[in-house]
């Protein structure tokens, strides 16, 4: 199984409990980005375009544990930036595993073999290795030759050591379904436990703006891939209903609070992909975010989004409401031939707002305020003749 049975049971009971207790909004996976610094500069990435002072920031071990205490989601995906650049990452992972949280540590794998001795296999821990397709596709995606081969060598090594490992495969416009299907065969043959796949989100800061998929192309691409996968034993770490959504068979609305993101800025509003503001606490994020302002049909920047951070939680919640439906899709695979489900109208979406520069400016001000040396206290000097003068600095 792509997800161990115990993990599926624990996450399933967590979801059912939230429904029974009538909790309207709840987190399913906490996304944690304890740093933005990366050792690659991928053309489709919109996460690393910050000044050096911000890229040098790290969340401490305690801040990561506190984020988990606040959020309480049963699964935590640690991303970035490149998490293996964080010196305290082994301690963060150990601390979260001790709390019996299921950890996915996302990495481009360039440092994995070097750092592997710092980690131990656990049913609560999985490596999640970035691989956007075969050698030609992946090396082009990360803008560096040789990265695919290093990632594959790392996958073999971690499997030898008894770790669980999944791959994280983002697809862009122009992806060839036959090539992707062959790539999925290849990674299954390598022994990966699961595939996580999604279309790339059109980050406004990504250097390459030309290769993001719109919704229609996304749905057609995934239909074509899944058609080629009929009868094969591809294992996905995602809900079958999310895959069915990617193939155009579900009219899902976004659930951005399902995968809340904590970064060096705080809790990001509204989701992992969009940084439209930051809350100081998880409660503030949940209570004060105008959730109805976001999602496809509500906001221009969400128009083409079909990413798991917004829609996988919707699929999981749908599975609780319609267990017979997920059972059918899990058994039969996503539908690839019938007409697609209706698309959400964009007629009333609000226009995009561009606030990135404002957040960067605010963070830079905070950092420079924190750096300024404290003014020395004014000292009263008492002279022998009882005259008083004041010394400062």
Site of interaction with ligand SF4 (CB under 6 A): 254, 256, 270-271, 273-274, 294-296, 302, 305, 307, 309-310
Of the pair 14, 291, the CB lying nearest ligand SF4 is at: 291
**First-to-last CA distance in the chain?**
66
Q: How far is the CB of 162 from ligand SF4 (least distance, A)?
A: 34
Closer CB to ligand SF4, 177 or 310, in the complex: 310
CB of 299 to ligand SF4, least distance (A): 6
State whether residue 126 is helix, strand or coil. Answer: strand
The least distance separating ligand SF4 from the CB of residue 343, rounded to whole angstroms, comes to 13
- Bridge partners of 76? 30, 103
CB-based contact 171:197 (threshold 8 Å): yes
The two three-digit tokens of residue 270, written as one number = 């509204």
Q: What is the nearest approach in angstroms of ligand SF4 to the Cβ of residue 290?
A: 11
Contact between 299 and 350 under an 8 Å Cβ cutoff? The reply is yes
Q: Smallest gap, in angstroms, from Cβ of residue 309 to ligand SF4?
A: 5
Residue 35 phi, psi (nearest 5): -160, 155
- Residue 387 main-chain phi, psi, to 5 deg: -70, 145
Name which of 236 and 291 has its Cβ closer to ligand SF4: 291
CA angle (160 as vertex; 183, 165 as ends), nearest 5? 50
Q: Which of 39/214 has CB closer to ligand SF4?
A: 214
Provide the minimum distance between the beta carbon of 276 and ligand SF4 in the complex, in angstroms, as a whole number: 9
CB 171 within 8 A of CB 199: yes
Rounded Cα–Cα distance for residues 194 and 166 (Å): 5
| Residue nearer to ligand SF4 on the CB measure, 346 or 364 | 346
380 φ/ψ angles, rounded to the nearest 5 degrees: -90, 120
With respect to ligand SF4, which residue has the nearer C-beta, 151 or 306? 306
Tell me how far, at minimum, the Cβ of 29 lies from ligand SF4, in Å. Answer: 12
What gap in Å lies between CA 334 and CA 223, rounded to an integer? 8
* Bridge partners, residue 170, by sequence: 198
d(CA 25, CA 31): 16
CA angle 309, 313, 317 (to 5 degrees): 170
Closest CB to ligand SF4 among residues 106, 307: 307
Q: Which is nearer to ligand SF4, 196 or 273 (CB)?
A: 273
Q: How far is the CB of 256 from ligand SF4 (least distance, A)?
A: 4
């Amino acid at each position: 199984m792509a997800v161990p049975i115990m993990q599926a049971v624990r996450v399933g009971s967590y979801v059912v409990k939230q429904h029974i207790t009538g909790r309207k909004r709840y987190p399913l996976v906490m996304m944690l980005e304890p740093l933005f610094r990366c050792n690659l500069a991928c053309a489709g990435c919109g996460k690393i375009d910050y000044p050096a002072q911000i890229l040098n920031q790290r969340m401490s071990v305690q801040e990561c544990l506190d984020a988990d205490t606040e959020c309480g989601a049963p699964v935590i995906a640690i991303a970035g930036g490149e998490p293996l650049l964080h010196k305290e990452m082994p301690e963060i992972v150990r601390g979260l595993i001790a709390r019996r949280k299921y950890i996915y540590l996302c990495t481009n794998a360039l440092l994995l073999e070097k750092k592997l001795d710092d980690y131990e296999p656990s049913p609560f821990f999985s490596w999640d290795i970035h691989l956007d397709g075969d050698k030609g596709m992946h090396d082009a995606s990360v803008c560096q030759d040789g990265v695919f081969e290093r990632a594959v060598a790392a996958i073999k090594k971690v499997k030898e050591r008894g770790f669980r490992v999944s791959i994280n495969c983002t697809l862009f416009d122009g992806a060839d379904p036959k090539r992707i299907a062959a790539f999925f065969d290849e990674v299954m043959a390598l022994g990966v436990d699961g595939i996580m796949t999604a279309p790339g989100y059109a980050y406004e800061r990504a250097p390459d703006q030309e290769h993001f998929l719109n919704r229609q192309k996304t749905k057609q691409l995934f239909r074509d891939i899944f058609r080629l996968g009929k009868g094969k034993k591809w294992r996905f770490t995602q809900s079958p209903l999310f895959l069915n959504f990617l193939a155009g068979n579900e009219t899902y609305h976004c659930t951005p609070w399902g995968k809340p993101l904590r970064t060096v800025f705080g809790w990001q509003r509204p989701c992992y992909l969009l940084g439209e503001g930051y809350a100081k606490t998880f409660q503030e994020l949940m209570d004060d975010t105008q959730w109805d302002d976001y999602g496809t049909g509500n906001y221009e920047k969400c128009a083409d989004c079909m990413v798991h951070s917004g829609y996988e939680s919707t699929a999981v919640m749908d599975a609780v409401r319609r267990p017979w439906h997920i059972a059918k899709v899990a058994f039969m695979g996503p539908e690839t031939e019938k007409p697609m489900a209706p698309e959400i109208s964009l007629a009333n979406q609000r226009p995009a707002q561009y606030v990135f520069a404002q957040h960067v400016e605010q963070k830079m001000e905070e950092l420079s305020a924190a750096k300024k040396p404290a003014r020395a206290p004014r000292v009263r000097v008492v002279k022998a003749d009882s005259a008083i003068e004041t010394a400062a600095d």
